[in-house]
Amino acid sequence: MFIGGNWKMHGSKSMIAELVEGWKNANVKTDSEIFIAPPACYLEYLRDIFPAEWKTGAQNCYKEPKGAFTGEITPAMIKELGGEYVVLGHSERRWVFGEDDALIAEKTKFALSEGLGVILCIGEKLEERESGATKDVVVKQLEAVKAQIGDADWANIVVAYEPVWAIGTGKTATPEIAQETHLWIREWFTSAISSDAAMAVRIIYGGSVKPANCDDLGKQPDIDGFLVGGASLKPDFTAIMATNFSS
Ligand code: PGA
């Protein structure tokens, strides 16, 4: 199980210190991996005060090792600050900053080749869900990445299904809607990669996850964790860290 927090553009050293102090006695299940992506400038600070077994990483990176790319960071920088993962393809990168499937796939390929794990975010917009296009959208997003990487690389990817209409809106996908889409994603792995890859991949849900809904979501057989935005900036994120998953 993989329980990640994406702090987006929030935080300060004092806020991080207080939050992490309050989380130290969290009742994390032994098979759950905890991960936080702070703003990149706080990566080293968070690493220094975080419990050793919890992971950190960045919210984005570029597809080149260095160069004239103002404002970007490269995987080696993330690793040097103790980061083990990078979140790629988040809907805010796609829809606020205009990243397309091909760029996200290139970044995924590069981050993996540099030794980072990738949390690959996919998900449909509201109009796509309403028109019945969800499955096609998530498959297209996965196919774009498949075109750039080898089958074995999927072992280092966590897939985050995050319906765009549920992110930061307070509207969570019902456990049934989330489960249905997670199953489509797992079926895609079976047919496009292998049944071993389908069994091994962690498919996590994101979009208004909070203490009040994490247990119901976690009961679904194909939900293997969460990517949490707003609720990961709160003391009671510990309740989400303690989720009992069914599988
Ligand atoms: P939210 O964000 O939990 O605030 O909806 C989720 C995300 O953006 O990953």
Q: What is the DSSP string of the chain?
A: -EEEEE-TT---HHHHHHHHHHHTT----TTPEEEEE--GGGHHHHHHHS-TTSEEEES---SSSSSS-TT---HHHHHHTT--EEEES-HHHHHTS---HHHHHHHHHHHHHTT-EEEEEE---HHHHHTT-HHHHHHHHHHHHHTTS-GGGGGGEEEEE--GGGSSSS-PPPHHHHHHHHHHHHHHHHHHT-HHHHHH--EEEESS--TTTHHHHHTSTT--EEEESGGGGSTTHHHHHTPPP--
CA dihedral 125, 130, 135, 141 (to 10 degrees): -20
Q: Average pLDDT, stretch 125-132?
A: 95
167 in contact with ligand 1, CB cutoff 6 A: yes
Query: Mutation test of ligand 1: which of 2, 93, 208 has the most ligand atoms closer than 8 Å to its C-beta?
Result: 208
Whether 56 contacts 35, CB under 8 Å: yes
Distance from the CA of 143 to the center of ligand 1, in angstroms?
24
Take residue 151 and report the two structure tokens written for it: 């089958």
228 in contact with ligand 1, CB cutoff 6 A: yes
Distance from the CA of 193 to the center of ligand 1, in angstroms?
28
Of all protein residues, whose CA lies closest to atom 1 belonging to ligand 1? 229
Take residue 141 and report the two structure tokens written for it: 């997003």
- Residue 140 to residue 181: CA distance in whole angstroms: 14
Model pLDDT, residue 247: 63
Whether 183 contacts 222, CB under 8 Å: yes
Distance from the CA of 38 to the center of ligand 1, in angstroms?
13
- Residue 116 to residue 108: CA distance in whole angstroms: 9
* pTM score above 0.85: yes
Model pLDDT, residue 98: 97
19 in contact with ligand 1, CB cutoff 6 A: no
Take residue 229 and report the two structure tokens written for it: 């935005």
Catalytic residue among 92, 99, 124, 162: 162
- Residue 194 to residue 24: CA distance in whole angstroms: 38
Ligand 1 atom closest to the Cα of residue 6 is 9
- Residue 129 to residue 133: CA distance in whole angstroms: 6
pLDDT digits (tens, 9 = 90+) for 59-117: 999 999 999 999 999 999 999 999 999 999 999 999 999 999 999 999 999 999 999 99
Catalytic (active site) residue 10? no
Catalytic (active site) residue 90? yes
Query: Mutation test of ligand 1: which of 2, 6, 35 has the most ligand atoms closer than 8 Å to its C-beta?
Result: 6
Task: List the one residue out of 116, 121, 145, 112 whose CA is nearest residue 57.
Answer: 116
221 in contact with ligand 1, CB cutoff 6 A: no
Distance from the CA of 229 to the center of ligand 1, in angstroms?
3
pLDDT digits (tens, 9 = 90+) for 31-57: 999 999 999 999 999 999 999 999 999
Report the chain's mean pLDDT, rounded to a whole number. Answer: 97
Model pLDDT, residue 71: 97
**Residues forming a β-bridge with 2:** 33, 225
Catalytic residue among 90, 92, 99, 128: 90
